[in-house]
Amino acid sequence: MKVLVAVKRVVDYNVKVRVKADNSGVDLANVKMSMNPFCEIAVEEAVRLKEKGVATEIVVVSIGPTTAQEQLRTALALGADRAILVESAEELTSLAVAKLLKAVVDKEQPQLVILGKQAIDSDNNQTGQMLAALTGYGQGTFASKVEVNGDSVAVTREIDGGAQTVSLKLPAIVTTDLRLNEPRYASLPNIMKAKKKPLEVLTPDALGVSTASTNKTVKVEAPAARSAGIKVKSVAELVEKLKNEAKVL
């Protein structure tokens, strides 16, 4: 079984994000970049499926600038077999990404596609669902458990009331939630081996996909600074402040 895993290059979650002086976007100059945490979980799940003998090949794909090869090499070091970079310097919408991934799915014909449920930069939580709609595959979103059995996959998903298990016929789309697994660290020998694994570079034009967007970013602003909190000495004082200052009572 071939598993396709989509990964995204994002600002590292430990970095304090800064907005450009002209409010045109986020300042990425000299900023540490890394693989999206939910994508790390997706890669880990694919590797575990291969270790169980369920998956025979893991292909990782990323859409972004040339520098995204760094994150693909990380995925290769974690256990993926080969990588595909769809190179684009544009700021792509979720729909454009889903269309490009659909073209890669058509090219690779995987039985299972795993994506992180969302990226920590745009936070859209849309690409997996859009890809499922474009391909016509069944989808299991917010997965906390994935079990492949023959030509179907059981996905336990996080919902407001607890957990729900759905059974999907392969091929299928799965998006990962935090409780699915704990990603491993790449060992030094595997990092060295990853440098020799195949990495194919494609373009949207080569895939026959238009990435033109009808959306335009008008302005990006940092959230307003919050005033410091205070400590109160009694419940009576708290109630008084909530009533007279905060005006919430």
Residue type, 169: K
Which CATH number does the domain 2-244 belong to among 3.40.50.2300, 3.40.20.10, 3.40.50.620, 2.40.30.170?
A: 3.40.50.620
- What pLDDT, in 10s, does the model give residues 188-225? 999 999 999 999 999 999 999 999 888 888 899 888 88
Alpha helices, DSSP H, located in the chain? 37-51, 69-78, 94-108, 127-135, 188-194, 204-207, 235-244
Helix (H) or strand (E) holding 46: helix 37-51
117: its two tokens: 């449920």
Strand partners, 102: none
What pTM does this model have? 0.87
Q: What are the residue boundaries of the structural domains of the chain, listed by start?
A: 2-244
Residue type, 205: D
pLDDT per residue as tens, the chain (249 positions): 999 999 999 999 999 999 998 988 889 888 999 999 999 999 999 999 999 999 999 999 999 999 999 999 999 999 999 999 999 988 899 999 999 999 999 999 999 999 999 999 989 999 999 999 999 999 999 999 999 999 999 999 988 888 999 999 999 999 999 999 999 999 999 999 999 999 999 999 999 999 988 888 889 988 888 888 889 999 999 999 899 888 887
